[in-house]
């Protein structure tokens, strides 16, 4: 398969930066878009993209998916073969506190992207969705055939709304769209507020970690390399409108996860048990048979191996902070906030 041109939104985030690296590594040309939101320290995102910015096949645009003029300019210049849309306001619990920001970014932002994609004739879209769309009433293992019409949080509702909007887009314009329901992604560069990263930091610092509920909740944790493989496969294999689960088909109890991290860090976990939180679901469990059949998606990283890789990255980078410090000393951070950063002189076409 020859090289292609991609636009990747959320390109400086946890998943996005890994996707960009994989695309560049196989010879594709990529334009990334990210607004470097302050949901967490933007310097972490700057560290995420530092290596990719050395490529002359990559440029990074600092901007917002809700900016129709920016998207118009970007897509007119780049004329991508596909858009991989990963940008979103993330997190179940924060969405309960501030639902309007999730509606604005996730629904209005995705709507703006779909509109501009149609205007510029982009023929294939890959959209990040979430296992959270299944809510608390789905039957495991979760299948894409379920209606997923009872989300448990505003975040989940916005992701399901995006899937429906994507179907309407496909129906009206014939664009191929792959919606990917990610199941609890973890690995190097994981966002600092996510459970595995947060628990690792607290255990390592001998601080109490909050455990909501009795520790029996189950999650289908999916290593970042397996997720990226699924994302790339869906970009390479457009097939009408599709929704795919990307998980491992394995489930891990919360208390066992904490124990596995404590073992790897060589420290006890000081657990503070708290009541269950609204919006949380008791379990997630992916049925990946459709992704296996149509994308040849076969996750290979179990939880033990994945946590080994995460803890090794955490120790080497201080959870990304050492990388930031090194880049500040060597002046390798991206340029100050502006519309075009990275390789602004590279011409599209």
Q: Read off the pTM.
A: 0.92
**Which of the following is catalytic: 58, 102, 155, 186?**
155
The predicted structure's pLDDT at residue 138:
83
The predicted structure's pLDDT at residue 332:
47
Summarised one tens digit per residue, pLDDT across range 114-172 is: 999 999 999 999 999 999 999 888 888 999 999 999 999 999 999 999 999 999 999 99
- To the query of whether residue 244 is one of the catalytic residues in this protein, the response is no
Q: How confident is the model at residue 326 (pLDDT cuts 50, 70, 90)?
A: low
- Pick from 36-40, 136-140, 221-225, 296-300: least confident: 136-140
Mean pLDDT (whole number) for 183-198: 96
Question: Percent of the chain scored above 90 by pLDDT?
Answer: 83
The predicted structure's pLDDT at residue 237:
97
Question: Residue 347 above 80 pLDDT?
Answer: no
Q: How confident is the model at residue 217 (pLDDT cuts 50, 70, 90)?
A: very high
Who has greater pLDDT, 192 or 345?
192
Domains, the chain, in order of start with CATH, read: 5-183+224-249+281-299+321-341 (3.40.50.720)
The predicted structure's pLDDT at residue 112:
98
Mean pLDDT (whole number) for 304-317: 96
The predicted structure's pLDDT at residue 40:
86
Question: Residue 296 above 90 pLDDT?
Answer: yes
Question: Residue 334 above 50 pLDDT?
Answer: no
The predicted structure's pLDDT at residue 277:
82
Chain mean pLDDT for the chain: 91
Mean pLDDT (whole number) for 260-268: 97
Question: Percent of the chain scored above 70 by pLDDT?
Answer: 91
Which 3-state string (H, E, C) describes the chain? CCCCEEEEECCCCHHHHHHHHHHHHCCCEEEEEECCCCCCCHHHHHHHHCCHHHCCCEEEEECCCCCHHHHHHHHHHHCCCEEEECCCCCCHHHHHHCHHHHHHHHHHHHHHHHHHHHHCCCCEEEEEEEHHHHCCCCCCCECCCCCCCCCCCHHHHHHHHHHHHHHHHHHHHCCEEEEEEECCEECCCCCCCCHHHHHHHHHHCCCEEEEECCCCCEECCEEHHHHHHHHHHHHHCCCCEEEEEECCCCCEEHHHHHHHHHHHHCCCCEEEEECCCCCCCCECCECCHHHHHHHCCCCCCCHHHHHHHHHHHHHHHCCCHHHHHHHHHHCCCCCCCCCEECCCCCCCC
The predicted structure's pLDDT at residue 132:
94
Question: Residue 346 above 60 pLDDT?
Answer: no
Summarised one tens digit per residue, pLDDT across range 36-62 is: 988 889 999 999 999 999 999 999 999
Sign of the CA dihedral running 123, 129, 131, 135? negative
Sign of the CA dihedral running 89, 91, 93, 96? positive
């Amino acid at each position: 398969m020859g090289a292609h041109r991609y636009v990747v939104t959320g390109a400086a985030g946890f998943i996005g930066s890994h996707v960009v690296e994989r695309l560049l590594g196989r010879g594709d040309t990529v334009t990334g878009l990210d607004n470097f939101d302050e949901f967490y320290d933007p310097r972490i995102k700057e560290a995420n993209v530092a290596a990719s910015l050395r490529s002359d096949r990559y440029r990074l645009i600092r901007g917002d998916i809700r900016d129709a003029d920016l998207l118009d300019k970007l897509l007119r210049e780049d004329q991508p073969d596909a858009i991989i849309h990963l940008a979103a306001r993330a997190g179940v619990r924060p969405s309960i506190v501030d639902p309007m920001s999730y509606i604005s970014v996730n629904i209005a932002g995705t709507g703006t992207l779909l509109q501009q994609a149609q205007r510029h004739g982009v023929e294939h879209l890959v959209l990040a969705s979430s296992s959270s769309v299944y809510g608390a009433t789905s039957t495991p293992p979760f299948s894409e055939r379920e209606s997923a019409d009872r989300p448990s949080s505003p975040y989940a509702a916005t992701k399901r709304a995006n899937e429906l909007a994507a179907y309407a887009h496909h129906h009206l314009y014939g664009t191929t769209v792959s919606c990917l329901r990610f199941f609890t992604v973890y690995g190097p560069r994981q966002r600092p507020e996510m459970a595995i990263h947060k628990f690792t930091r607290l255990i390592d610092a001998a601080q109490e970690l909050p455990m909501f509920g009795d520790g029996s909740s189950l999650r289908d944790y999916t290593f970042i390399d397996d997720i990226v493989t699924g994302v790339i496969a869906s970009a390479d294999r457009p097939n009408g409108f599709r929704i795919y689960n990307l998980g491992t088909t394995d489930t891990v109890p919360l208390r066992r996860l904490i124990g596995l991290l404590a073992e790897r860090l060589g420290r006890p976990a000081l657990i503070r048990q708290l009541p269950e939180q609204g919006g949380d679901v008791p379990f997630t469990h992916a049925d990946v048979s459709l992704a296996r059949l149509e994308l040849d998606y076969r996750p290979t990283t179990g939880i033990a191996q994945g946590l080994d890789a995460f803890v090794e990255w955490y120790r080497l980078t201080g959870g990304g902070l050492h990388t930031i410090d090194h880049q500040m000393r060597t002046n390798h951070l991206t340029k100050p906030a502006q519309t075009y950063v990275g390789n602004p002189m590279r011409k599209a076409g």
